[in-house]
Chain A
Amino acid sequence: MKKHYRRSVIMCIGLICLICLPPALSHAGEPAAENLIARAWDYMRGNTSVSVVHMTVHRTDWERKTTIKAWTKGRDHSIFRIIAPKKDKGNGTLKLKRDMWTYNPKINRVVKIPPSMMSQSWMGSDFSNNDLSKADTILVDYTHDIVAKETDREFTVYVIKSVPRPDAPVIWGMQQLKIRSDGVLMEQAFYDEDMEPVKILTTTDIRDIGGRPFPRQWTMRSMDAESEQDYTLLEYESLTFDTPLRDSLFTLNALRKPAR
């Protein structure tokens, strides 16, 4: 009789657990993949961000360093400007949603990048125009699934497989992202339609930048490169979040204004 009693108590507790735990689990343990990505993207950009980045395009027999200042606001406003070397100083790129313009001070002209050129290399790097202008496309054009979980020191790293929606205007067959539980993007791999990796972006040297843990180095490698030595490295020199930025900064007029 006593035994029976105890069993029913255990069953009761079990039932209570069953009722209460699942929502709790899905909140704390298994965040939705979409939310993870949205959070990671917002984490990277803040409400606004101002950064100075050194870009190194490296090839076996050749290397070039450029310094770029970048402003972003919200999810789809950004403007980039080259501040060194002197030869390229003042060249700028403005992107608003899917549209992209580039400005050259030497000829004092703004050129709109046509859709057919969006997959071409940006300033000779391993990044394409698309990588810049459609960086937010992953939030709109893809559906996401968490496929694995890894542990990196005290953090959980979610491996997310993102497949484009059927009619989405994207060139990738699939993307695979690794996002740390605090929102830091660890890796982004781009796959073609045959599910072969085309290029992989990895982030390293996570330290406190702009008041939050942030990867200082971003490396993009193309899989069809001629050697291991071919890559493009972005290194953050400075980064500040949530500085108020006027909307007028993200206009063609602002793009044309050389000194700032």
Chain B
Amino acid sequence: MEILMAWRNIWRNPRRTILTVFAIAFACVLLIFMLSLQAGTYEVMIDAAVKTRTGHLQVIAEGYNENRKIRKVVADPDGIAAILDQAPHVTGYTFRANGFALLSSEHRTYGGMITGIDPIRESLVSTVPATIRQGRFLGPGDENAAIVGNLLAKNLKIGIGDELVVLGSARDGSIAASVLRVKGIFSSGMDEYDRAGIQIPLSHFQEIFAMGQAVHEVVAMCDSLWTVSRAKAAIRERLPEFSGKHRLACLSWDELTPGLVQSIQMDLGGGLIFYGILLVMVAFSIMNTFLMAVFERTQEFGTLMAIGANPGRLTKMLVYESGFLTLCGIILGAGIGCLLTLWAQHTGIPMGEAEGMLRQYGIPSLIRPSLSLVTATAGPVLVFLVTMLTAAYPAVRVHRLKPVDAMRAV
């Protein structure tokens, strides 16, 4: 009975109802789309950082992530490999060693970071092999070969087949020097790395930097972002067995790139404020509608009470009314929001001008929102809660009405 009355009541003033439904729907669409967009951006940022640089997990000498001294090494990489082989969720791992050195071409000299990589294992973990723009990635047979970041190659004025001189300090303090031949040029999309990074075969790195069998990072990938912490716990448990001169630590991507996590938190914080404002505005517009509905129907409520309806039933009816209104808006909004997001996910959103700034976080120029159960439902659920809360006020107010006064009210 109340449900039927509520349904009829909300269509007594179709224009107002439709406007309110649209307001709710609009809030839902915006929330779903923006949340998905943010989630999509973060996923891409994390993915870019994880796949070009940090991996999901790293085993390193304690403190190496803060102060990359060449002497802070993982002395027994094979032992760590044995742990990783048994650790849950780990899908692949590789070894890397890093050194800072002068990189000199025939024309110019720059300081840069040399990473020694295992050419075969690297492709299990990193996207760098897939970002080769010219030439080829390192192969198992390469010795004094290098792949060079595209911006560095441009600065040094070198191309495929050219010579590149490396001059730096080795692990034992002696002078590390080598002449490399450029085999490929990569463009990871991370400007910072493309401007300073070169990669050479790990064996050659260990030779020129007097590393012996030691490496600096054991980089591992997990089957998804969500299983990283479980894998980390399992690895940490077994690390003490292998700690030699330097204690070893196992860090996850968020600990390795605190800057990335902070920029995500900052962006999310800004987003949350925006959503808060949006919800407050929707709340006021709903409240307005419901207050109007109660005030202009005072006579009607008076009559209903006079013929025996108790205030409880009236409240029930009003709650049903606001419920219908909100549900209509949410269903409409969620539908449109999901469709819009899916469409944007399919085509991508070009970022145009902002590209330069985003590139430093490794965000490509085309952003795809990512619709998930969380981003699709969080917005509508919030809107539902807020509107029902605001609608409760007029519904409770009905209790205060006196039938006789109410019938006489204008």
Contact = CB atoms under 8 A, between A and B. Distances in A.
Interface stretch (A109-117, A166-174, A236-244): A109-117
Contacts of B111: 114, 116-117, 120
A35 interface: no
A50 to B, nearest CB: 23
Interface in B283-325: none
B172 interface: yes
Interface in A57-83: 57, 59, 61-62, 64, 66, 82
B229 interface: no
Contact of A57 (B109, B110, B173): B173
A121 interface: yes
A123 B104 contact: no
A181 to B, nearest CB: 38
A111 B104 contact: yes
B64 to A, nearest CB: 14
Contacts of A117: 102, 109, 111
A111 B102 contact: yes
B245 A123 contact: no
B110 A114 contact: yes
A48 interface: no
B179 interface: yes
Interface residues of A, number: 26
B167 A102 contact: yes
B359 interface: no
B322 to A, nearest CB: 62
Interface in B154-212: 165, 167, 169, 172-175, 177-179
B71 interface: yes
A219 interface: no
Contacts of A59: 71
Interface in A80-136: 82, 85, 87-88, 91, 102, 104, 106-107, 109, 111-114, 116-117, 120-121, 123-124
B175 A107 contact: no
A16 B178 CA distance: 74
Given A114-B109, A117-B102, A107 B177 contact: yes
B110 A64 contact: no
A252 to B, nearest CB: 14
Main secondary structure, interface of B, reads: strand
B70 to A, nearest CB: 9
Given A102-B167, A104-B167, A124 B173 contact: yes
A123 B175 contact: yes
Contacts of A88: 174-175
Which of A62, A117, A123 has the largest number of chain B CB atoms within 10 A?
Answer: A117
A113 B245 CA distance: 34
A138 to B, nearest CB: 25
Nearest to B70: A124
Contacts of A62: 71, 173
B178 A107 contact: yes
Nearest to B165: A109
A64 B171 CA distance: 11
Interface string B98-116: 0000101000111100000
Nearest to A57: B173
A123 B102 contact: no
A106 B169 CA distance: 14
Nearest to B163: A109
Interface in A29-56: none
Contacts of B102: 111, 113-114, 117
Nearest to A101: B109
Contacts of B169: 121, 123-124
B175 A111 contact: no
A104 B111 CA distance: 17
B177 A106 contact: yes
A6 B280 CA distance: 99
A108 B258 CA distance: 42
Nearest to A116: B111
Interface string B103-134: 01000111100000000000000000000000
B109 A111 contact: yes
Contact of B110 (A82, A91, A102, A116): A116
A91 B175 contact: yes
A61 B244 CA distance: 13
B177 A104 contact: yes
Contacts of A66: 173
B174 A111 contact: no
Given A107-B165, A107-B179, A112 B109 contact: yes
B109 A61 contact: no
Nearest to B208: A106
A68 B174 CA distance: 13
B173 A111 contact: no
A104 B175 contact: yes
B245 A61 contact: yes
A113 B179 contact: no
Contacts of B174: 64, 85, 87-88
A64 B173 contact: yes
Contact of A111 (B71, B167, B172, B245): B167
A102 B71 CA distance: 23
A88 to B, nearest CB: 5
Interface string B135-160: 00000000000000000000000000
Interface of B: 71, 102, 104, 108-111, 165, 167, 169, 172-175, 177-179, 245
Interface of A: 57, 59, 61-62, 64, 66, 82, 85, 87-88, 91, 102, 104, 106-107, 109, 111-114, 116-117, 120-121, 123-124
Given A91-B175, A117-B109, A124-B173, 17 more contacts: A59-B71, A61-B245, A62-B173, A64-B173, A82-B175, A87-B174, A88-B175, A104-B177, A109-B165, A109-B177, A109-B179, A111-B102, A111-B104, A114-B102, A117-B102, A123-B169, A123-B173
8 contacts: A61-B245, A87-B174, A102-B167, A109-B165, A109-B179, A111-B165, A114-B111, A123-B173
Closest 4 CB pairs of A and B: A64-B173, A104-B177, A124-B169, A111-B104
